[in-house]
Amino acid sequence: MTHHPTRITVMMPNYNNATYVSQAIASVMRQTWQSWELLIVDDASTDDSVDVIRAVDDPRIRLVINSRNEGISAVRNRLLELASGDLVTSLDSDDVFYGDDKLEREVAALGQPSWGRPQVAFSDVMLIDGSGNDLALVSEQQPLREGPLFHGMLRRSVFIPRDYLVNTDVARSVGGFDTTLKIYEDWDFKLRLARRANFCFSGVTGIGYRRHGNGLSSASSAEHGKVQSQIQMRYSGLAVRLDSKGRVTERKAA
């Protein structure tokens, strides 16, 4: 019987990122794990993003174009709905896979013991500037942890990047992204995932998060605080129950 490598869908939302999207695509194509599809949903860009994407010749790239702008949560939901891989990860079109072995190492990490719960694999993150220069490694600012991490993620004392690797069916089982959220929709989704899954570290720096004026940091500090509080209130009751029963245990990543 022929063995077929596990297929990964890399889910990429795009909106007016013509400047960076070719770098994001190239970082996927450099991966040592070559059994992937790159699914891109363009959210009615008004720049030449679509032309840039179409210029890349690789049959594993699938482009879907929205006729009107639907917003980031709706785009992430469509990506998850259309994904055909056994596993899914994500990559925003202004970011990059920092390490060429990101996918390979995360696939390996999924084989770690998970105590009967689904496993989610993640990598460290390098913050980069608009030109791609290294700024800071996230693990040097915030310790990485493994295991069941719901409570730490709710307190925002534990960092898990949005570009983790997880079984497609598990990702779909926790419900879609909240379309009422314009920011932190990925954090809200991760909290629901953390209620039923464990997290394991790949041991590598896998993601380059780009800091530039059009990213999350461009939202006002008041808006950040408002949405963070809204999400924390949504899950705080569950966090208290988990604490009182002693069910939340976290261990430092090796």
pLDDT digits (tens, 9 = 90+) for 77-115: 999 999 999 999 999 999 999 999 999 999 999 988 777
Q: Go through the domains of the chain in sequence order and give each one's CATH number.
A: 8-247 (3.90.550.10)
Q: Which two tokens stand for residue 211?
A: 């800091």
b/e string for 182-203 if b means 16 or more Cβ within 10 A? ebbbbbbbbbbbbeebbbbbbb
Round to whole Å and give the CA distance between 190 and 171: 9
Round to whole Å and give the CA distance between 150 and 242: 9
Q: Which two tokens stand for residue 223?
A: 């808006």
Q: Tell me: the pLDDT tens digits for 22-35?
A: 999 999 999 999 99
Round to whole Å and give the CA distance between 14 and 17: 6
Q: Tell me: the pLDDT tens digits for 200-226?
A: 999 999 999 999 866 544 567 888 888
Please answer whether residues 192 and 175 qualify as being in contact, where contact means their C-beta atoms are separated by less than 8 angstroms: yes
Round to whole Å and give the CA distance between 186 and 197: 16
Percentage of the residues of the chain whose pLDDT score is greater than 90: 76
